[in-house]
């Protein structure tokens, strides 16, 4: 059936006048034969040949019919069984962060606090930083290593050991976590602009709104951890560590994408300045990928005064002005806005008391107590604080006492846990709930796509509620809604994702179960008293983390977003594809909820045709069908064969051999190996 349809289309639509009474088929510029070509069409078809003319797919089908498109100058490439897939669509990526710079970069490697000190001292020496100048440290692995020692009990002490003359900030490789030394803490300014520093007293007064985002020790003093917007309090010079986008960075971004087989992207959060820069360079050096920019601003700059709501109308107006300014830049669309609904799901087990996650949860977080096993050097939970205990109840009544009460230190000595661990807390939203709703509604009404970052199950629900209200109030809008990450989704919300046509941009490599990482997440939601508890099928986190399979079965649409440089500057599409299929840790052999795995075809669709649909370019890209743009990738391995033979854990070994964009080869592994390119 497929062969016949393709032959008819090719024969009837590609006839041209030959200057005489006869007509002939257009000759292909390039013809690929003897391959495994996954088309990502509606039938998830596989064919063997593909022909390109200029920037368009001239033919997709079998070799017998393909021979009709061979002309005197047709370049024939024998794939010899290699695979071709449509160009990949990374629907959530931060482009400026995917290339290395000369900054102090920890490259997401894990360091103990003792090992961290000499590494950062070398950075100060190499960069020749004068006293008083910031040391900004990029790609800090907040979720790996960071083991304290008897001497360096907190990250603050470790950074103080690096330098007391320089303010130091570690920028977590997730864009949400941070850590600073004492010098930096002293630089914090309050709303009045006075430099008062972050300490036990100012956390109660000037910075009370940020108390949940600042790590403290058992006495209540900051331990160096500052997350989310708390990082702004100390006036860090660069919140995310991304470089200014000059022409060199711009070109390196294109090279890295091409080497990864990525031909379409959504840059998940670009401010006005960076959009202008991308547009500037794109006019000078045309984009070799189809770029969608999701507008993101420092929303506090749009608050008329401290006691007034964020000006949503002004935000939308400025976005529309940016759209108008750059409407004619080839391969650049600015049709989306980004909303951070909440933060992140990791706590800090090494802190004393342990810092809680700040992602918005439907239930209160548990209050675990941790210790490091002296034999295995692994974290373990010793017990949980009963927040309804008599000790906690008495602490809650202290404000009415006329007699002296226990200090935080004495309380800890008496009960073995800190007063802060009596608190009930279920995370926070990044901004007011009303802003999330109002901004979503305003964008959708204007026909602007909405892309929401949501991690916790309560944040996912708020995003869905906002999408539902927007669709109800503006039923004629053609805007699309999408969600990134969705680390925890309550089962009741799975069907809503499908019903609301929400494009779900999971980062599938994060599914891989690492014990060290899971100890930062699971014990704060489920009672975890042993390593095996982390993988208990009845656990809420185990059941509902990245439920890609459930979303798919419910009729939802999966897309793929690497979120690079989070965890790695490399977008790693083959690793993401593998983990979507296996959900397996290759070192331990552990699998994290196999029922949520998806097939190779389904994850390829997420990266191709579904991504194209989300980005509003399904008519151009996303599948290998006649008349579409010739964007495709040649791979070293047949992913479908690996799956069929039970070798899906080898998918990440797959190499991108070449990448084609608009019918032109923009990357070749052979050339890259010769030139030492990215």
488-504 in b/e form (b: 16+ CB < 10 A) is: bbbeebbebbbebebbb
DSSP state, residue 103: S
- Report the pLDDT averaged over residues 202-222: 90
- With a cut of 80, say whether residue 322 has pLDDT above it: yes
Domain count, the chain: 2
**SS3 call for 488:** strand
- With a cut of 70, say whether residue 307 has pLDDT above it: yes
If you search the block for the tokens 């959708």, which residue do you land on?
Answer: 444
Is residue 226 located within the same domain as residue 114? yes
End of a domain among 178, 204, 234? 234
CA atoms within 13 A on the CB side of 641: 11
State residue 675's pLDDT score.
61
Looking at per-residue pLDDT, the higher value among 387 and 306 belongs to 387
Instruction: Give the model confidence (pLDDT) of 626-648 as tens digits.
Output: 999 999 999 999 999 999 999 99
H/E segment holding residue 223: strand 222-226
Task: Indicate whether 637 belongs to any domain.
Answer: yes
**SS3 call for 552:** helix
Instruction: Categorize the per-residue pLDDT at 239 as very low, low, confident or very high, splitting at 50, 70 and 90.
Output: confident
**SS3 call for 136:** strand
What is the spatial distance between Cα 474 and Cα 480, in angstroms, rounded to a whole number?
12
Task: Indicate whether 657 belongs to any domain.
Answer: yes
State residue 398's pLDDT score.
53
Residues making up the chain, counted from first to last? 678
Q: Which two tokens stand for residue 140?
A: 């800090």
Is residue 50 located within the same domain as residue 131? no
Is residue 61 located within the same domain as residue 111? no
H/E segment holding residue 290: strand 290-295
Q: Which two tokens stand for residue 549?
A: 């399979």
Angle in degrees, CA 114, 511, 576, rounded to 5: 100
Instruction: Categorize the per-residue pLDDT at 69 as very low, low, confident or very high, splitting at 50, 70 and 90.
Output: very high
Query: Which 3-state string (H, E, C) describes 50-64?
Result: EEEECCEEEEEECHH
End of a domain among 200, 234, 268? 234
Pair 350, 142: CB distance under 8 Å:
no
Task: Indicate whether 446 belongs to any domain.
Answer: no
Pure H helices in 27-112: 63-66
Task: Indicate whether 340 belongs to any domain.
Answer: no
Instruction: Categorize the per-residue pLDDT at 547 as very low, low, confident or very high, splitting at 50, 70 and 90.
Output: very high
Q: Which two tokens stand for residue 541?
A: 């986190």
Is residue 45 located within the same domain as residue 107? no
Residue 452's beta-bridge partner residues?
Answer: 339, 483
- Report the pLDDT averaged over residues 227-253: 89
Instruction: Categorize the per-residue pLDDT at 88 as very low, low, confident or very high, splitting at 50, 70 and 90.
Output: very high
Pair 294, 336: CB distance under 8 Å:
yes
CATH of the domain at 632: 2.30.40.10
What is the spatial distance between Cα 211 and Cα 206, in angstroms, rounded to a whole number?
10
Is residue 79 located within the same domain as residue 106? no
Looking at per-residue pLDDT, the higher value among 193 and 286 belongs to 286
Is residue 54 located within the same domain as residue 173? no
Task: Indicate whether 667 belongs to any domain.
Answer: yes
Q: Which two tokens stand for residue 343?
A: 């933060």
Pair 27, 73: CB distance under 8 Å:
yes
pTM of this prediction?
0.91
**SS3 call for 215:** strand
- Report the pLDDT averaged over residues 145-150: 90
State residue 144's pLDDT score.
83
- Report the pLDDT averaged over residues 303-314: 93
What is the spatial distance between Cα 353 and Cα 219, in angstroms, rounded to a whole number?
9
Q: Which two tokens stand for residue 530?
A: 């042993």
Task: Indicate whether 437 belongs to any domain.
Answer: no
- With a cut of 90, say whether residue 394 has pLDDT above it: no
- With a cut of 80, say whether residue 1 has pLDDT above it: no
- With a cut of 80, say whether residue 24 has pLDDT above it: no
- With a cut of 70, say whether residue 19 has pLDDT above it: no
End of a domain among 196, 217, 234? 234
State residue 671's pLDDT score.
81
Q: Tell the burial category of 5 from Cβ atoms under 10 Å away from its Cβ (0-12, 13-18, 19+).
A: exposed
- With a cut of 90, say whether residue 463 has pLDDT above it: yes
CA 487 to chain centre: 11
State residue 23's pLDDT score.
45
Is residue 155 located within the same domain as residue 76? no
- With a cut of 50, say whether residue 6 has pLDDT above it: no
Instruction: Give the model confidence (pLDDT) of 370-391 as tens digits.
Output: 998 888 888 999 999 999 999 9
Taking residue 82's Cβ as centre, other Cβ atoms within 10 Å add up to: 19
Q: Which two tokens stand for residue 166?
A: 């320089």
- With a cut of 90, say whether residue 101 has pLDDT above it: no
State residue 20's pLDDT score.
33
Cα diameter, the chain: 108
Report CA-CA distances (Å) from 39 to 43, 44, 336, 503, 549.
9, 6, 28, 21, 22
Task: Indicate whether 359 belongs to any domain.
Answer: no
Is residue 76 located within the same domain as residue 112? no
Q: Give percent of the chain above pLDDT 70.
A: 94
Domain that holds residue 39: 2-85+622-675
Average pLDDT over the chain, rounded to an integer = 92
Q: Which two tokens stand for residue 112?
A: 């103990």
Least confident of 261-265, 496-500, 530-534: 530-534
Q: Which two tokens stand for residue 105?
A: 């970069």
What is the spatial distance between Cα 39 and Cα 621, in angstroms, rounded to a whole number?
11
Looking at per-residue pLDDT, the higher value among 48 and 374 belongs to 48
Is residue 130 located within the same domain as residue 218? yes
Is residue 108 located within the same domain as residue 187? yes
Is residue 132 located within the same domain as residue 195? yes
Pure H helices in 128-259: 155-162, 182-185, 200-204, 247-259
- With a cut of 60, say whether residue 21 has pLDDT above it: no
Pure H helices in 128-181: 155-162
Is residue 108 located within the same domain as residue 58? no
Instruction: Categorize the per-residue pLDDT at 397 as very low, low, confident or very high, splitting at 50, 70 and 90.
Output: low
Task: Indicate whether 609 belongs to any domain.
Answer: no
542-579 in b/e form (b: 16+ CB < 10 A) is: bbbbbbbbbbbeeebbbbbbbbbbbbbbbbbbbbbbbb
């Amino acid at each position: 059936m497929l062969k016949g349809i393709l032959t008819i289309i090719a024969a009837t639509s590609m006839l041209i006048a030959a200057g005489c009474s006869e007509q002939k088929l257009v000759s292909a510029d390039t013809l690929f034969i003897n391959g495994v070509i996954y088309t990502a069409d509606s039938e998830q078809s596989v064919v063997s040949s593909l022909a390109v003319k200029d920037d368009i797919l001239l033919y997709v089908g079998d070799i017998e019919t393909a021979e009709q498109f061979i002309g005197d100058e047709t370049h024939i490439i024998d794939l010899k069984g290699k695979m071709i897939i449509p160009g990949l669509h990374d629907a959530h990526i931060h482009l400026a962060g995917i290339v290395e710079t000369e900054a102090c970069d920890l490259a997401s490697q894990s360091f103990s606090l003792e090992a961290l000190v000499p590494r950062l001292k070398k950075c100060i020496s190499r960069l020749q930083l004068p006293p008083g100048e910031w040391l900004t440290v990029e790609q800090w692995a907040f979720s790996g290593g960071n083991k304290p020692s008897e001497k360096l009990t907190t990250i603050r002490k470790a950074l103080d050991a690096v330098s007391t003359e320089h303010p130091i900030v570690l920028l977590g490789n997730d864009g949400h976590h941070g850590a600073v030394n004492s010098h930096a803490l002293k630089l914090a300014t309050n709303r009045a602009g006075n430099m008062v520093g972050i300490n036990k007293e100012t956390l109660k007064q000037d910075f009370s709104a940020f108390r949940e985002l600042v790590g403290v020790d058992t006495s209540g003093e900051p331990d160096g951890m500052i997350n989310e917007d708390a990082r702004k309090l100390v006036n860090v010079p660069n919140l995310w560590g991304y470089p200014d986008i000059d022409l060199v960075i711009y070109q390196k971004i294109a090279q890295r994408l091409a080497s990864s087989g990525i031909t379409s992207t959504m840059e998940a959060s670009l401010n006005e300045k960076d959009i202008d820069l991308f547009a500037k360079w794109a006019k000078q050096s045309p984009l070799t990928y189809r770029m969608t920019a999701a507008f993101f601003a420092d929303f506090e700059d749009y608050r008329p005064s401290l006691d007034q709501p964020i000006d949503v109308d002004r935000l939308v107006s400025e976005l529309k002005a940016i759209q108008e300014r750059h409407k004619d830049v080839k391969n650049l669309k600015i049709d989306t806005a980004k909303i951070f609904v909440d933060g992140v799901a990791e706590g800090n087990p090494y802190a004393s008391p342990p810092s809680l996650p700040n992602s918005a949860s439907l239930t209160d977080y548990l209050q675990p107590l941790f210790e490091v096993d002296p034999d295995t050097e692994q974290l373990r939970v010793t017990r949980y604080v009963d927040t309804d205990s008599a000790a906690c109840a008495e602490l809650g009544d202290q404000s009415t006492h006329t007699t002296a009460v226990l200090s935080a230190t004495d309380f800890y000595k008496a009960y073995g846990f800190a007063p802060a661990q009596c608190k009930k807390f279920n995370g926070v939203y990044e901004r007011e709930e009303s802003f999330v709703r109002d901004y979503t509604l305003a964008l959708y009404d204007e026909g602007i796509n909405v892309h929401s970052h949501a991690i916790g199950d309560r944040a996912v629900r708020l995003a869905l509620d906002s999408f539902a209200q927007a669709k109800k109030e503006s039923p004629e809008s053609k805007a699309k809604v999408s969600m990134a990450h969705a680390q925890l989704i309550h089962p009741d919300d799975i069907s809503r994702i499908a019903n609301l046509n929400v494009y779900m941009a999971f980062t599938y490599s994060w599914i891989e179960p690492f014990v060290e990482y899971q100890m930062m997440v699971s014990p704060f939601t489920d009672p975890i008293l042993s390593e095996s508890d982390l993988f208990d099928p009845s656990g809420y986190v185990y059941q509902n983390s990245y439920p890609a399979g459930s979303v798919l079965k419910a009729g939802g649409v999966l897309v793929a977003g690497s979120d690079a440089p989070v965890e790695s500057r490399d977008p790693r599409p083959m690793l993401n594809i593998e983990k979507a299929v296996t959900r397996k840790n290759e070192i331990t052999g552990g699998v994290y909820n196999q029922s949520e795995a998806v097939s190779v075809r389904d994850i390829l669709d997420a990266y191709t045709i579904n991504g194209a649909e989300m980005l509003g370019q399904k008519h151009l890209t996303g599948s290998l069908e006649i008349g579409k743009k010739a964007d495709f990738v040649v791979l070293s391995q047949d992913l479908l064969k690996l799956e069929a033979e039970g070798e899906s854990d080898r998918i990440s070994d797959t190499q991108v051999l070449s990448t084609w964009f608009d019918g032109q080869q923009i990357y070749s592994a052979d050339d890259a190996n010769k030139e030492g390119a990215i």
